[in-house]
């Protein structure tokens, strides 16, 4: 019998109800604070963005932020919300001054949703505005105003004070990572020279913008001093290292666009044209950009982003002026500094030589691959990439994932339980080759690494060609599994660092234990969770999963389904990660052995 479908099934939700029912549409993911893009950090960002917009418009050079016991307080010294509109501005969708280009010329929060989403998704929310000796204040519970708006006189300087506590019903067991918060705040400081951010009584401030950012990230790895340029609408910085691949930081109106976009593409094009014109050469992009570390920030009056979380810019009209500005500024900088020009030339000619040496090896690898099989061995692709996925569902295909897993047993388990539409599996034959300190020729000379590269679509070293939105390392939770993780991370960090910096590389977290009795079954990810569950239920039966292949496929499906737990692979700075790779993956076995012996618990 068909389910009833009539007028009673039609529901109309208020904006508040819709935000709470579908929070992912407004803030991306929820999470518990263990990932830098979890919802609690997006809530923080949305509030700070408004304060940054005030600074950009020339009002308020200081923002004070505190996070104590998960309560966030943000006080800026801008113009303050107009007192008569204080409630509407934080609770009514599509209400705000940012639709007025005179009040806000270069704003991130253009859609009038941000602060309203924070309000709706917080168990407590309050806002106070100070303007010219008067104030207005309102408080809310889960987006609903609690009591009347208060008004009165004040000696406080102009500005806005907002505090909120993320709702524990929506963000269970969450906590703010001090490291993630400081990283986000430093980005604000780099992009807004002259702005002082006080965070839990720590001062965060940058004097030289993107120059400071790139210097911190690259450190002693840079081959020449950072080239830095800034005008009213564009700022960029670049240098080169001896690394492979490309690494970029890109921003629009102070917002980090982790997936790049038209401004980043135009920056890369401008660098290519500027260098070729200065040296009167016709180098290809890889010769110029291999090893580059760059940062770009642009101001756009009407930015078009691909989502509410604003990870990728879509404006096409900005391309021409960015290309021209970058090209001319780069030529000017090279003309004024002969030492930098000489170092850059040496890097490019070295790249050119290495690429020529790689070419013969690469062609041989391609021919060998053709002889072995038309398809990539050990790859079970998803239907989307096999051209049998409905093209009308492009949005879902953006979530395509590939699991890099060890052995036939584990890959077989994942293959039986995966979503064949969007999840692919690549089975490793053993421990991958350690590529630390090797040239890119190592990939072409090693069949398995070559097949991984081709499976991912990175044969031409272009991150834009990456075939999957997530690359997931899925290994056993034992010493061999950890070793394979390190070898794969070394592979990406050495040759395809942008896969990591763009937030595409993850580690699959699978349960170590199953604790159950006749009434309940629980999966535990640590010994602490196991012990707690054993204390809660009667007559518990405990199973220790030694490997992915030991988990029954009928059970395993949930761990790569809606409840999948992915740990992002992140790096704080390029220079630090290379030092760690040298220690853990380089030819210094005695030092590692000594470290293990001294730190063995």
Instruction: Check whether 501 has a pLDDT greater than 90.
Output: no
pLDDT score at 397: 43
Q: Select the highest-mean-pLDDT range: 343-352, 472-481, 526-535.
A: 343-352
Give the pTM.
Answer: 0.71
Q: Which alpha helices (H) appear in 537-588, and where do they start and end?
A: 553-556, 574-585
pLDDT in tens, 69-91: 999 999 999 999 999 889 888 88
pLDDT score at 389: 47
Which tokens sit at 112?
């009038």
pLDDT band for position 113 (cuts 50, 70, 90)? low
**Positions of E strands within 356-478:** 379-380, 401-406, 423-428, 470-474
Instruction: Check whether 371 has a pLDDT greater than 80.
Output: no
Q: Crossing angle, helix 338-372 and helix 262-279, to 10 degrees?
A: 110
> Mean pLDDT across the stretch 237-253?
89
4-8, 25-29, 454-458, 512-516: segment of lowest average pLDDT: 4-8
- The CA distance from 449 to 370, in Å, is 16
- The CA distance from 119 to 128, in Å, is 13
pLDDT score at 88: 87
pLDDT score at 497: 85
Instruction: Check whether 444 has a pLDDT greater than 90.
Output: no
SS3 category, 475: coil
Domain limits of the chain? 16-204, 210-353, 373-510+557-570
- The CA distance from 193 to 112, in Å, is 26
Judge contact between 195 and 188, C-beta under 8 A.
yes
262-276, 311-325, 540-554: segment of lowest average pLDDT: 540-554
Which tokens sit at 226?
């950072």
Show the CA angle centred on residue 47, arms to residues 41 and 51, nearest 5°: 130
Show the CA angle centred on residue 7, arms to residues 3 and 9, nearest 5°: 50
Instruction: Check whether 407 has a pLDDT greater than 90.
Output: no
CB atoms < 10 A from the CB of 100, how many? 10
- The CA distance from 486 to 14, in Å, is 48
pLDDT in tens, 252-306: 887 788 788 899 999 999 999 999 999 999 999 989 998 999 999 998 888 887 7
pLDDT score at 365: 64
Q: Which alpha helices (H) appear in 373-464, and where do they start and end?
A: 394-397, 407-417, 441-445, 447-456
Report CA-CA distances (Å) from 238 to 212, 259, 578: 11, 18, 19
> Mean pLDDT across the stretch 386-406?
64
Domain 16-204, what fold? Heat Shock Protein 90 (3.30.565)
pLDDT in tens, 519-537: 898 888 888 889 989 989 8
Instruction: Check whether 48 has a pLDDT greater than 70.
Output: yes
Better-scored residue on pLDDT, 227 or 416: 227
> Mean pLDDT across the stretch 299-323?
83
Better-scored residue on pLDDT, 343 or 356: 343
Better-scored residue on pLDDT, 123 or 369: 123
pLDDT score at 125: 95
Which tokens sit at 63?
């923002």
> Mean pLDDT across the stretch 507-523?
88
pLDDT score at 394: 43
Residue among 381, 380, 414 nearest 508 (CA): 414
> Mean pLDDT across the stretch 403-419?
86
pLDDT band for position 201 (cuts 50, 70, 90)? very high
pLDDT score at 591: 76
Q: Which alpha helices (H) appear in 496-526, and where do they start and end?
A: 497-501
pLDDT score at 312: 83
pLDDT band for position 370 (cuts 50, 70, 90)? low
Instruction: Check whether 362 has a pLDDT greater than 90.
Output: no
210-353 CATH pick, 3.30.230.10, 3.40.630.30, 3.40.50.720, 1.20.1250.20? 3.30.230.10
Judge contact between 322 and 267, C-beta under 8 A.
yes
- The CA distance from 155 to 235, in Å, is 38
pLDDT band for position 377 (cuts 50, 70, 90)? low
> Mean pLDDT across the stretch 7-33?
69
Percent of the chain at pLDDT > 70 equals: 87
Give 3-state DSSP helix, strand, coil % of the chain, rounded to 5. Answer: 40, 20, 40
pLDDT band for position 326 (cuts 50, 70, 90)? very high
pLDDT score at 4: 57
Judge contact between 124 and 100, C-beta under 8 A.
no
- The CA distance from 150 to 118, in Å, is 21
Instruction: Check whether 375 has a pLDDT greater than 80.
Output: no
pLDDT in tens, 90-108: 887 755 444 344 444 455 4
Q: Which phi and psi (to 5°) does residue 10 adopt?
A: -85, 125
Which tokens sit at 133?
């000796």
- The CA distance from 177 to 37, in Å, is 11
pLDDT score at 140: 93
Q: Provide the CA 281 distance to its chain's centre, in angstroms.
A: 35
- Side-chain half-sphere exposure of 185, counting CA atoms within 13 A: 24
Which tokens sit at 391?
């093209």
CATH node for 373-510+557-570: 3.40.50.670
Percent of the chain at pLDDT > 90 equals: 38
Better-scored residue on pLDDT, 18 or 212: 212
181-185, 483-487, 500-504: segment of lowest average pLDDT: 500-504
Instruction: Check whether 9 has a pLDDT greater than 70.
Output: no
pLDDT score at 392: 44
29-33, 294-298, 539-543: segment of lowest average pLDDT: 29-33
pLDDT band for position 308 (cuts 50, 70, 90)? low
Better-scored residue on pLDDT, 583 or 425: 425
- Side-chain half-sphere exposure of 12, counting CA atoms within 13 A: 1
Q: Select the highest-mean-pLDDT range: 161-165, 230-234, 375-379, 586-590.
A: 161-165
Category of 112 on φ-ψ map: left (φ > 0), alpha (ψ -120 to 50) or beta: left
- The CA distance from 208 to 210, in Å, is 6
pLDDT score at 2: 54
Better-scored residue on pLDDT, 152 or 408: 152
Work out the mean pLDDT of the chain and round it to a whole number.
84
Q: Which alpha helices (H) appear in 95-170, and where do they start and end?
A: 114-120
Q: Select the highest-mean-pLDDT range: 316-325, 353-362, 375-384, 589-598.
A: 316-325
- The CA distance from 109 to 162, in Å, is 16
- Side-chain half-sphere exposure of 498, counting CA atoms within 13 A: 23
């Amino acid at each position: 019998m068909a389910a009833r479908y009539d007028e009673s099934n039609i529901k109309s939700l208020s904006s508040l109800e819709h935000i709470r029912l579908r929070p992912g549409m407004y803030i991306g993911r929820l999470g518990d604070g263990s990932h830098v893009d979890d919802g609690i950090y997006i809530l923080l960002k949305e509030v700070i963005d408004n304060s940054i917009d005030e600074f950009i418009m020339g009002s308020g050079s200081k923002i004070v932020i505190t996070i104590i016991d998960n309560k966030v307080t943000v006080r800026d010294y801008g113009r303050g919300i107009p007192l008569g509109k204080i409630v509407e501005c934080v609770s009514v969708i599509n209400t705000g001054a940012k639709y007025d280009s005179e009040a806000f010329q270069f704003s991130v929060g253009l859609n009038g949703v941000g602060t309203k989403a924070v309000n709706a998704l917080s168990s407590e929310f309050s806002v106070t505005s100070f303007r010219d000796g008067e104030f207005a204040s309102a408080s809310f519970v889960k987006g609903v105003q609690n009591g009347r708006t208060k008004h009165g006189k004040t000696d406080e300087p102009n500005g806005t004070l907002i505090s909120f506590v993320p709702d524990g019903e929506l963000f269970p067991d969450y906590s703010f990572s001090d490291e993630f918060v400081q990283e986000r705040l430093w980005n604000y400081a780099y992009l807004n020279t002259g702005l002082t951010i006080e965070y839990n009584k720590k001062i965060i401030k940058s004097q030289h913008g993107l120059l400071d950012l790139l210097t911190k990230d690259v450190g002693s790895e840079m081959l020449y001093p950072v080239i830095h340029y800034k005008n009213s609408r564009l700022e960029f910085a670049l240098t080169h290292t001896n690394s492979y691949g490309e690494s970029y930081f890109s921003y629009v109106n102070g917002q980090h666009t982790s997936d790049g976009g038209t401004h980043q593409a135009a920056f890369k094009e401008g660098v290519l044209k500027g260098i070729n014109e200065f040296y009167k050469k016709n180098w290809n992009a890889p010769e110029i950009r291999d090893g580059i570390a760059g940062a770009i920030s642009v101001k756009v009056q009407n930015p078009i982003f691909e989502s509410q979380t604003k990870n990728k810019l879509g404006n096409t009209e900005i391309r021409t002026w960015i290309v021209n500005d970058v090209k001319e500024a780069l030529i000017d900088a090279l003309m004024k500094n002969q030492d930098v020009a000489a170092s850059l030339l040496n890097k490019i000619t070295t790249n050119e030589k290495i690429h020529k040496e790689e070419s013969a090896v690469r062609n041989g690898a391609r021919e060998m691959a053709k002889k072995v099989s038309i398809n990539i061995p050990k790859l079970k692709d998803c239907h989307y990439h096999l051209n049998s996925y409905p093209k009308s569902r492009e949005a879902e295909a953006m979530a395509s994932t590939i699991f890099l897993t060890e052995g036939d047993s584990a890959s077989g388990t994942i293959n039986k339980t995966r979503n064949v539409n969007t999840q692919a599996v690549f089975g490793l034959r053993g421990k991958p080759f350690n590529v630390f300190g090797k040239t890119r020729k190592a990939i072409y000379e090693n069949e398995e690494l070559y097949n991984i590269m081709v499976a991912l679509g990175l044969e031409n070293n272009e991150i834009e060609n990456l075939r999957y939105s997530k690359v997931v390392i899925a290994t056993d939770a034992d010493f061999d599994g950890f070793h394979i993780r390190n070898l794969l991370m070394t592979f990406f960090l050495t040759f395809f660092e942008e896969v990591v910096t763009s937030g595409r590389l993850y580690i699959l977290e699978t349960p170590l234990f199953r604790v159950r009795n006749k009434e309940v079954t629980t999966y535990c990810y640590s010994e602490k969770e196991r012990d707690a569950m054993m204390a809660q239920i009667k007559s518990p039966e405990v199973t220790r999963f030694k490997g992915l292949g030991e988990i029954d496929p009928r059970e395993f499906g949930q761990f790569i389904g809606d409840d999948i737990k992915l740990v992002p692979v992140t790096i704080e700075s390029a220079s630090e990660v290379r030092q760690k790779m040298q220690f853990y993956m380089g030819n210094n076995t005695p030092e590692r052995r000594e470290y293990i012996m001294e730190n063995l618990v």
